[in-house]
Amino acid sequence: MMMKTGDNKFIFKEDRTINPDTGETENYELEIDLEEYSWEEIVDACEPFGYTAKQVDDWMNTGEEFALIAECIFELSN
């Protein structure tokens, strides 16, 4: 689940498996403020999902796809 809380702020929540043997899960929540990340950190988070630095740069310059960028950061978080 994703909720936008500001222009560049998002909260993500999901159940994550903490014990694969028992199937035990735990609610994981992370607030992401894109202003707290450098351009390099944002590109590094998006590239594993197939997005190029140019695409990310275009998104950042046009104010598009901020939710997608935040989701990439969230998916790589612990």
Q: Please report where in the chains the tokens 């104010």 appear, as a residue.
A: 63
Residues pairing with 36 in the sheet: none
- Give per-residue pLDDT as tens, 29-70: 999 999 999 999 999 999 999 999 999 999 999 989 999 999
Question: Which residues have CB under 8 Å from 58's CB, separation 6+?
Answer: 64
Give the residue-averaged pLDDT of 17-27: 93
Residue 78 predicted with pLDDT over 80:
no
Q: What is the pLDDT of residue 7?
A: 87
Give the residue-averaged pLDDT of 8-31: 94
Q: What's the CA gap between 40 and 37, in Å, rounded?
A: 8
Every domain of the chain and the residues it spans: 2-76
Q: Map residue 4 onto helix, strand or coil.
A: strand
